[in-house]
Structure 1
Amino acid sequence: MKGACGSEQWQNPKAISESLPPSPPDYLIRGTAAEDNIRVVSVVSTQAVQEARERHQLSYVATVALGRAMSAALLLAADLKEPQARIGLQIRGNGPLGGIHVDAGVDGTVRGYVSNPAIELPLTPEGKLDVGQAVGRYGYLHVVRDLGYGQPYTSTVELVSGEVGDDVSYYLTSSEQIPSAVLLGVSLDSQRVRAAGGVLVQLLPGAPANLISEIESRLSQVEEFTPQLARGKALQELLEIWLGDLDLKLAPEVLPVRFHCPCSSERVKGALRMLERDELLEMIQTDGGAEVVCQFCNKVYRLSEDELRSIVAEMSASQ
């Protein structure tokens, strides 16, 4: 099955964000359809993507690319079982955006960054943000599954288009052997992310083959996903419109979603302990301390000379 990415990403910069209602909290829902032959997961990630945009000072096209990847990772993580299980997405294309790195958990937390957050490209002839060109048409999607026990394992597929939705759908169909359709969208203007989210539909074992083309056809006709979210439509309403006649059953549980990075001063100190003693001494002599920036959340940690000397002393005592 094919993936899809919303065509509604860009709004005229003259649009007035304040005229829109405040973004409701992000959330994720699950369900089944077609007599339990289809698994459905859908997410609203508007606030999480807006926070990523602000933290990393993302350009328009970088916001859409990272936002799609964040929604995709949340959709994939929803299938994990252990409370601490996580999904990592790494998209490495040959475009000017560089790599996209996202980490999401079954607990609804997500974080991410791109290598070149300020990159901007001309709009396509249709007036859309050219995510595929920014990411690159050639490259690889790496999916890292940390099940919460044992060693994480990585699956890799070639990029199909760089549009993210197509690439994640291809990964699920080819690597996981699960016929899947993925719809991802990010709608923004000059002020803020108006709406972001995604839908994942998968055929379960034994599902009739004709459901594949049916779901593809339905999702391909969805042109107003994130604009409807921005206007206050709930995921439950939208899924009912698209899949209600297929015996849609939504679970009553709603999972809160948020941008969250577990970095901390103690973790930074732990990372510095992995360096050689001479490297730490050079930091003390040259810089009088250390400055460490978390790539995922862009938070800056500054360690004083005394703190570095304390780490060096610990290392010396343990030898």
Structure 2
Amino acid sequence: MADQLVRATAADGGIRAVGVITTRLAEEARQRHSLSYVATAALGRTMSAGLLLASSMKRAESRVNIRIRGNGPLGGLMVDAGLDGTVRGYVDNPSIELPPNPKGKLDVGGAVGQQGYLYVVRDVGYGYPYSSTTELVTGEIGEDITNYLVQSEQTPSALVLGVFVGAQGVTASGGLLLQVMPKAARDEALVQTLESRVAALSGFTPLLQAGKTLPQMFEELMGDMGLEVLPERQLLQFHCGCSFDRVLGALKLLGEDELQDMIEKDDGAEATCHFCGEVYQANSSELEQLISELQTEASQ
């Protein structure tokens, strides 16, 4: 099944629902960063969450950045997701591995840590980005994002995230986000019903592995609430906008002396993109060209 995002509404527009399947992009992230099992689960969940959060934005260039910094051995992670369906991300310590938690599942909470902070930045495409910080609740990602939505955006929300990774890589990944809009938030019975149904789910990946589509998942949760699944299917992909030209621009900022030192000691420079793992190499001739440009700019 292709990586995709599907939107739906229920209760006469009082409930907003979004679902994503991110299996292939999570697997690409695993391969690009040589992620361990638990690091794959942590980053995969956060990439799904980033796409879900970005889906409510309006302008095509809108993006959401999620940064998590906990006291666990994973160190931290960073995800950048856009309304256009692109996402990228990385973790500080990709090779860290932990034994399963008491439930027999990957110990994402132990890897991230239960003490720390979740930082969310929303760039709407103009003006200053909106940023918010909340404390971590469990380190399991889903609960932490839900806590952010309640505290910072004051929106009753239910979020389910999942990544199943085995010896063959990621075989299921994605999530569901259900939010009660302001006009329905006072209907306590509606909120409680929705919360109880989401709580009863066995998780996201078991549904995906059972062959359930996103519309079928919505039907099981809200089929009796006036569900309307929107026809558009947005394709999702792991994508990074890094390029060799951008690397040269960054190297140029180091200045003439540093560039000359690289030429003399290393006969060039090598840079690796944190987000996608792409390695770029600049030879001495290219660095000399940068020095020449700096000297020209200084003389003007």
1:176-216 alpha-carbon deviations (Å, 9 max, x no partner): 11111111011121112111001111111121132222221
Contact conserved, 2:132 with 2:152, CA < 8 A, in 1?
yes
So what's the TM-score if we normalise by structure 1?
0.91
Q: CA deviation at 1:47?
A: 0.4
SS at match of 1:58: coil
SS at match of 2:224: helix
In the alignment, does 2:100 pair up with 1:128? no
1:1-150 residue pairs with structure 2 within 5 A?
24-150=1-127
1:150 & 1:157 partners in 2: Cα distance? Answer: 23
SS at match of 1:196: strand
Unaligned 5+ segments in structure 1 are: 1-23
1:123 & 1:70 partners in 2: Cα distance? Answer: 22
Which residue among 171, 194, 204 is the counterpart of 1:194? Answer: 171
Which residue among 259, 272, 283 is the counterpart of 1:293? Answer: 272
Find the counterpart in structure 2 of residue 13 from structure 1. Answer: none
Which residue among 271, 287, 294 is the counterpart of 2:250? Answer: 271
1:192 & 1:227 partners in 2: Cα distance? Answer: 16
1:182 & 1:228 partners in 2: Cα distance? Answer: 15
Q: CA deviation at 1:91?
A: 0.4
Q: CA deviation at 1:72?
A: 0.2
Amino acid of the residue matched to residue 97 of structure 2?
A: E
Q: CA deviation at 1:224?
A: 4.6
1:229-240 residue pairs with structure 2 within 5 A?
229-240=208-219
Which residue among 276, 297, 300 is the counterpart of 1:318? Answer: 297
Which residue among 179, 182, 200 is the counterpart of 1:221? Answer: 200
Which residue among 239, 244, 252 is the counterpart of 2:223? Answer: 244
2:200 & 2:210 partners in 1: Cα distance? Answer: 19
Contact conserved, 2:160 with 2:203, CA < 8 A, in 1?
no
SS at match of 2:121: strand
1:245 & 1:188 partners in 2: Cα distance? Answer: 34
In the alignment, does 2:206 pair up with 1:206? no
Q: Which has the higher contact order (CA 8 A, sep 6+)?
A: 1
Unaligned 5+ segments in structure 2 are: none
In the alignment, does 2:131 pair up with 1:154? yes
Find the counterpart in structure 2 of residue 307 from structure 1. Answer: 286
Contact conserved, 2:73 with 2:113, CA < 8 A, in 1?
yes
Identity of aligned residues (%): 53
1:304 & 1:275 partners in 2: Cα distance? Answer: 16
Q: Which moved more, 1:271-280 or 1:242-251?
A: 271-280
RMSD: 1.0
Amino acid of the residue matched to residue 190 of structure 1?
A: A
